[in-house]
Every structure is written in structure tokens, then in C-alpha cells.
Structure 1
């Protein structure tokens, strides 16, 4: 945790256990904590009473900002547009960069706070520049989601839970007698109440083209109901009869290409909308690894930067869905990332 200077922290509160324990850890370290909550969707609005109750239990003030318009324009619409064009976006990556940390930073400036903090499981390190690094609890690590944060944000960011196991946080919550100590963790996309992203996308007026399922040789296997229903690596819900286990390997125009699982991994990906930490210089002598989606394995790789285009060459081939983020690590430190073309 950062050494205390003035000790005033703007903490993003969710109403859940993690941000509540963050608050306790910050207060125990001597920081003065001010809570901040973003209403980004109707489900967040419904959560306001719980957030207020949590703030009262923590004995901190809570300020609430309605950022639904910003969230719609920067997260929901790009999410729907991407899926309707056959890509698989990660809305949490967009939200962290465009809405959540932006709003928290603006609030911190309003109250003249020295730092901002959240309950993410990751670490911030200062090594001749600020870097996001993996959490101690690898099963909860959220560094992938934070790769797009700027130096301006990282220089003021405290992530207390990066040094703790989730089991330790759960035990701290139990001992603190918090009313939310036994609440289940949220897992799904926060702005989709129904467990069907395509239905949600259609409900707000976005539709992908309909077309055919084809095999790798272009033979038609059947019709599909629209490319927004599919993503690379998907097996369930295809509705195609075959004596083989088929997966979505590619979406090309109106065609959804189906292949066996051994045809899915790729040897390289090219990235767009790339973020490279300005304090890291790529070297062929370094050993890098990458993730091609959240909560998935690391893959050894060799990043190459040519003419401002970043390509990742993999030693062990992953499955990579266009629209997802690929994030590059040097050891435990995030050094770059971008959107898979």
C-alpha cells in the first residue's frame, strides 16, 4: 500500500464485500476514506440502498453519480455494435477506461483527494514508471481488465486487495460483521439482466446479419440466426447436426465457420487500439506471456512492434476471439495490450 502523505482517498464502492474490506484496510492504514458509487445501469440504480447501508456500516460518506449516459455511449453501444459485426468485446475493459476510473478520478479531484482506490485484485508497482501487476491470488487476478489505465490514473491508484487471497478477504468480512459478508459475487455482465447477450443486443435495436454455417472448406452446413449469437470457441447452441464436435472457429461476413477443436488455436494475432506502457521497451531477450481473454491461461509469446502495429507470436497457441483484448505481461507486470483484429 502506498505510504501515507495527506492520506485522503476516494474509494469506488460497489456495495459488495471487496470494496468494503478495501475501506477497512485503508482506514486501518491511516487514510481518510470517501466513498463514491456510479449508477451505470438500472441494476446499479436498484443497488443504491445497499450501497448506502454499506457506507453507513463502514462509517464513511458516500457520493453517488448517475453516469448512465456515459456508460451507454462508451460501453453499451460499442458492445452492441461489436457483437452485431461478429466481434466479441469485453465491456469491463471499456468501462474501466472510459467510465469507472474516469468518474472516480474526477470525483477525487472535486474533493481534493490524494489517491483513488478500488477493490480490484491486482497491484500497482512503481519501477521507473507505474505498472499494473498480477494479484497475489492468481485465481482472482484482474490485471487483464486494467491494462488500459493511464499513467495519470496509476500514479494515484491504490489496490489494497492485490496483496490478499480471496479467502483472507472473506474471513475479514466475516469478522467485521458486515451485512454483505455472505453475499454472492457478481459474475455476469452487469447491464444485462437476462443471460443472453444477443437478446439484449436485439432489444436495443442492433442485429447482426443472418447467413450460413460453413465448414473450413466453405461447404454449407445449415443456416444460423445471426452472427451476434456466436463467438469464436463456442460449441453450445449451434443447432448443427454432425458426427463431429464442432466449434465456431471464425466469423467471416455472414458466414459462421465451424471446425473441430484442433483447428481453433492460432499462432499469432494482430492488435488494434493498442496500449503500450511508455516505461517499457520491448526486447527479444525478454520472456513475455499473454492472455487472450479474462480468466484464461497465460501463453508464452514474442511481441513484435512494427510501424506502430503490435503483433503477438505465440509459442503455445491459444484460442483468440476478434474483439477480445490480448494483454502482454513481462513476468507479473502488464506492459501492453490491445484489441484482437
Structure 2
């Protein structure tokens, strides 16, 4: 293992503005970044290629690691299987745990490099007797939610250079270094392996799908036909194509292949159950934490009302909406990330 005075950082770089800005910030802070580009899909972006060449010209080398096989087996296939079960998965949290960070740490260990960094908007802060991933609260963009499944033993080796920057500041930094207006543009896709629409991707890749079925109100009235349960998510309002609304997806009845619809108030939940638990720090049953049930949802207070080795449940102080099985339920102690799991049960009371 490298010494604590080693200034080398193995940095995951995709070629996007965020990871390139992270490399530039590390270099300006006296670190020696080595960029590692993980090859996870076949087609690469022209601007990403240009930015990576720009890093190389500035003396920041970039090497490649092929992760396509593990990415397909660990992320893409489980993503499709989740949709076949009519849940709404978040592939990024699984990819960070099983593919991206794992490959980066394996490469760092192979090279004897202690620190591993990425262009995520998050921070590392002292917490209890060690370190915790923390929210990036200054720049208005926070991605700590996506990192809750990382093993706790990695936390002391992580570095996130973008913690205190906003997206416009990141773009300006890349522009100043590369002096090319075009290279400051571009954003990461919501789901990186889907080149077009989610619906088209599902059409071409799902192996099993129940197909169309009835849309039924909570009162039992048949309102129309859905196009397949996997194409809808709990709390959804847009795209239902019904009159007399607005209608919202309350739940999916797989046994009857039915989409159950109601009004906005009918989508509220007060208890959320979750499993596939991952804890970076100890949590206690009966304690109040800030919880987040979607990447872009606002954190809200909740009691960890039940905790076992395999599953847990939170009781919210106020009802919330848009909670979908398959998404992640993540717990925080103030700004510090504690862990969480995959939502598998929701309750309206």
C-alpha cells in the first residue's frame, strides 16, 4: 500500500465535464492524478474523447480498463430483470457498488495507489471514529444518494474534488483550461447505457412481459388499458392518456396484470419497507434520521421503526408521494450518509 504522503490519486474519468474538472482540480491542489477510463459500453461520445485528449495534453495521463462484461452481468441484466418484475430500479447505485468503484479500487491496489477519486458531487468528512460520505451542499448539486452502497472500508481512501463547486463553475473551469466553448457542454445521461428512450430500450431487450392490461380505479372502475406494467411507476401522472383526471398510479397488481389508479392524495405513503441493506455506519432502531427515497427527492425526517439483518422499515413524520419499489431508501445523519436499501414495500397507513 502507498504511504500516506503519496500524492497520487487514481481518478475515474469518463471524459465528461465533471470528471475532467475533477482531474484539473486535483492537479492544481498538488495531487498527481492518473485518469482511469472504464470502458462499459460500445459507443463513446465525441466530446468525451476530445476532453480526454485535452487532459493528456496537459500532462494528466489516462489509461483504460475494460469493464463491459461485468457491467452487462451486474447492471444491465439486473436492470432488465427488475423491469420484468414491474419494479422501478436505479441502476447507478448498483453500478457504483459492483462495477465502477470496485474496478477503480482494484486498479488502484494493483498500482499501489491509496487514494481513489471520481467527479461525483459529494464530500468526505470526519464522522464518529472514521470518515463518512457527506452531501455536497454548497454548489446546489448532490450525488451522495448514489453512493450509499459503497463498502465502509473504502471511505477513508475516497476523494471528491467537486464537493464545493456548482455545475456552472465546473463548466467554466473546463473552458478556461481547454479554451474551447464546445468542450464545456454536455451532461451525463440519466441511464448511461440507454442510447434513446427507456421505452424503446425495454421494447428491444425485455425477455418476458405480461403485456397490456386494465387500468382500474380504486373504486373498481375500468378506466382504460395500460401498455405493460413495467412501463409505469408508482406516483406517475403523465403519459396515462386518460380523461377525467388527473389520475395517478397508486400501485401495480401483478396477479391481475392491472394498473391501479387514484387521485394524488391516494399516492401518499407513511411507511416504507426496504431490504438488500447496506450500512456504512451503524444505525439504531427507534432513532430519527433524514431519509431520501429518490435521487432528486428532498430529504425528510423518519423514524427507523424496524431493523433486522435482512430488512428494515421507516415511519415518516409526514406522508410523502412518489415512492416506488425498486428505488433506494437512503438514510442520513444530518449531512452524513449512513446507508440504506432497496424499497420493496410501501404502506398508506
Answer whether TM exceeds 0.5 for this pair.
yes
1:157 aligned residue? 158
1:293 matched to 2:284? The reply is no
1:268 matched to 2:271? The reply is yes
Question: What CA distance in whole angstroms lies between the structure 1 residues aligned with 2:283 and 2:338?
Answer: 9
* Corresponding residue to 1:235 among 230, 237, 253: 237
1:310 aligned residue? 312
Question: What CA distance in whole angstroms lies between the structure 2 residues aligned with 1:291 and 1:55?
Answer: 36
Give the deviation of 1:171 after TM superposition.
Answer: 2.7
2:334 aligned residue? 331
Secondary structure in 1 aligned to 2:88? coil
Which consecutive unaligned segments of at least 5 residues does structure 2 have? 345-349
Secondary structure in 2 aligned to 1:222? strand
Question: TM-score normalized by structure 2?
Answer: 0.89
1:94 matched to 2:97? The reply is no
Give the deviation of 1:248 after TM superposition.
Answer: 1.0
Question: What CA distance in whole angstroms lies between the structure 1 residues aligned with 2:333 and 2:272?
Answer: 18
Q: Aligned runs of 1:103-182 on 2, under 5 Å?
A: 103-127=103-127, 128-137=129-138, 139-179=140-180, 181-182=183-184
CA displacement 1:216-274 (0-9 Å, x = unmatched): 1333222222112111122222233x312001111121111111111112001100101
Question: What CA distance in whole angstroms lies between the structure 1 residues aligned with 2:179 and 2:316?
Answer: 45
Say whether the 8 Å CA contact 1:247–1:259 is kept in structure 2.
yes
Distance 1:27 1:139, change over 3 A: same
Give the deviation of 1:84 after TM superposition.
Answer: 1.6
Question: TM-score normalized by structure 1?
Answer: 0.91
Give the deviation of 1:288 after TM superposition.
Answer: 1.6
Secondary structure in 1 aligned to 2:244? coil
Question: What CA distance in whole angstroms lies between the structure 2 residues aligned with 1:246 and 1:105?
Answer: 46
Question: What CA distance in whole angstroms lies between the structure 2 residues aligned with 1:145 and 1:78?
Answer: 17
Question: What CA distance in whole angstroms lies between the structure 2 residues aligned with 1:178 and 1:103?
Answer: 32
Question: What CA distance in whole angstroms lies between the structure 1 residues aligned with 2:300 and 2:57?
Answer: 43
Give the deviation of 1:323 after TM superposition.
Answer: 0.3
1:277 aligned residue? 280
Give the deviation of 1:125 after TM superposition.
Answer: 1.8
Give the deviation of 1:214 after TM superposition.
Answer: 1.0
Distance 1:336 1:205, change over 3 A: closer
1:28 matched to 2:28? The reply is yes
CA displacement 1:140-181 (0-9 Å, x = unmatched): 100000011112221211001112233332332232235464
Greater mean deviation of Cα atoms: 296-305 or 205-214: 205-214
Distance 1:93 1:307, change over 3 A: closer
Any runs of at least 4 consecutive aligned residues in structure 1 with deviations exceeding 6 A, and if so which?
45-48
Say whether the 8 Å CA contact 1:233–1:249 is kept in structure 2.
yes
Say whether the 8 Å CA contact 2:271–2:313 is kept in structure 1.
yes
Count of aligned pairs between the two proteins: 335
1:213 matched to 2:215? The reply is yes
Say whether the 8 Å CA contact 2:171–2:185 is kept in structure 1.
no
Distance 1:282 1:74, change over 3 A: same
Say whether the 8 Å CA contact 1:88–1:231 is kept in structure 2.
yes
Which consecutive unaligned segments of at least 5 residues does structure 1 have? none
